[in-house]
Structure formats: structure tokens, C-alpha cells
Structure 1
């Protein structure tokens, strides 16, 4: 079977009923979903997203990598430019999932092999515990000063066995997260 021909055929069915030429550039739900590239984890299906609802960024493990930070910062900049410089907040939803292949990246032997063969250090982005990894990723996004305070972030964990997305972290603005971190750091220095 030629996969490309199959996908083109599916696209022709999609195009035959296409009526979304007037969708705005900015997502209707003012949302970015950052999730894993795993084929079982399609946010359109899981979260009921329609065409034009959200921007979706996918990578190994759904982690807040340097590239993901740059994508989010660029989107924020473009939104601001498109709205005549007014800082525009939007939602970032981090969504990891159970039974993730990125859990294998926590294996030191695999990390070493990837470093030696490809020059890629995956240790920072390995999945070890989704809840704590999502917390780490929220903090990683908050530490990225190029991402504006008005951006809100939340986290979900999708269970591939049940189809259920569980809330791990409620929505909070990066400005609030940064202020709370600053207060905590000041108190710790006490």
C-alpha cells in the first residue's frame, strides 16, 4: 500500500466538503497544545479540537524543550505584532501521556548511545514521572523570560488505556508563577 496515495485520497474527501477558507490566523480558543508526537495522542481527537481551534506543537514526550520555548515565544510575538503591539495572552496546555516511549530516554545506556552516535543529549527531556516532569516543564516555561507574563499554562496527563485526560496543574499565568517563585526564593534566602 502506498501511504501517500492513501493520504491524498483522504485529503480529497476532506477538500470536497471544505468550508473553512475564512478561518482567522489566530486560533479561536487562543490555545497552544504542546504534546507528544505519539500516534495515539492526537489532541484533535482527545480534546475535541476543530480546525482553527488551537495551535499544536508535538515533540518526543511533549516536553518543554528549547525549540518549544522558541515556538511559543515566536507565537506570542506574532500575536502582539498582529494586534498592534498589545500583549496578547493565550493558553499553553502541556499534555503528556501514559506508556510514553520517551520513558526509554531515561535509560543511561540509551542516553549514552544517542550522545555518542548522534550528538544528542536527551537526559533533560526523558520522561521519568509524568506529574513531576509536567511540573518541571511548567517551571522551565516560566524561566524562559522571552515568553510573556500574560501567557497561561496548565498541564494534563492523557491515559492511553482509558482515553481520559486528567488535570495535573490548573491554569495559571506565567506572571503569577514567576512572582510566586520569586517570593519563594526570597523567603528561602531569608
Structure 2
């Protein structure tokens, strides 16, 4: 018996009525979204988009890390991305804790020292970090000026996006 049997059974049920195959992999709505890994966020649904409409990159805090930037460059040049939304959210753990506090919580959970752990996505000012991330994308040499980049905060309690940048 597998630790994943429940999920594999759910996938089997899903696959029985699956009829969304055959997509070509490009962002049909021309959208890319960088957002948090938080499961309260449904990136496509919150924008009225569907399967195949957008490229989505998720990480703690919805930060534009080197990996996110790599995904955006690929999206812009190979996958029809014309608009980029950077979307952190309210009540985010990486925006409401210090790096030291998160390390302490991890150390307590893991039962071992986590003082060496590098948590680069932690922010002390979410609005400032969002503005920096938008500027980082806008100024990247492989993101053309005609690609629109916006910074938004998603409210996990109302479902609303608030454009900040």
C-alpha cells in the first residue's frame, strides 16, 4: 500500500472524465502569474481564466526569485506571455514573520538546528518587496518593454486583487 493511494484513487476518478488533453502549452490569454504556494490562492480562477490560459509560477511569498525570472523569460519568448502579474497575498507567513522566527519554527518542527537555513523569500515590507520585484522584471534585458508587468496583493479573505504597482 502506497502513502499516495488516496491521491492516486482521486486521480483515477479525475482521469475518467478528463477531456482537456491536447493543449499546445502556450499561454492562450498571454498571461503569466508569479504567486505564492499558499493553497488559498487559485491563480486561474481568481482572474477568470481557464486551463491553458496562463503560465503560473508559485513559491513561498510569490517572490521573483532567479527561478521565477527564468520562467518569465521563457514564457515571454516561447509561450506567448504578454502580461505578467506578480501576486503576493494577505496573511502570508513569509511576510508576517522574520527569517529568524521562521527558522526557529522550522527548528522546533524538525528537532534540529535550522540557523544555517537560507530563507531568501522572507520580506519585512511586502509593498516594498512587490515594487522591487516588479522593477526587477520590468528592467530585465529579456523582458521587452511591450510586456506589461503589474504588482498586486491578493486578499485571501475577500478574493479581491488590489493593484499596487
TM-score, structure 2 as length reference: 0.79
Counting only pairs closer than 5 Å after superposition, residues 115-154 of structure 1 correspond to structure 2 as 116-118=115-117, 120=118, 122=120, 125-154=121-150
Worse-superposed segment, 145-154 or 94-103: 145-154
Query: Is the CA contact 1:73–1:148 (under 8 Å) kept in the aligned structure 2?
Result: no
More helix by share: 1
Unpaired segments ≥5 residues, structure 2:
108-112
* Matched residue SS, 1:98: coil
* Matched residue SS, 2:152: strand
Query: Is the CA contact 2:95–2:126 (under 8 Å) kept in the aligned structure 1?
Result: no
* Matched residue SS, 2:49: coil
Query: Is the CA contact 1:89–1:150 (under 8 Å) kept in the aligned structure 2?
Result: no
Cross-structure match for 1:167: 163
Which is bigger in relative contact order (C-alpha 8 A, separation at least 6)? 2
Task: Report the CA distance between 1:72 and its aligned residue.
Answer: 1.0
CA distance in 1, matches of 2:146, 2:56: 19
* Rg comparison, structure with higher value: 1
Q: CA RMSD in A?
A: 2.7
Task: Report the CA distance between 1:20 and its aligned residue.
Answer: 1.9
TM-score, structure 1 as length reference: 0.70
* Count of paired positions: 157
* Matched residue SS, 2:38: coil
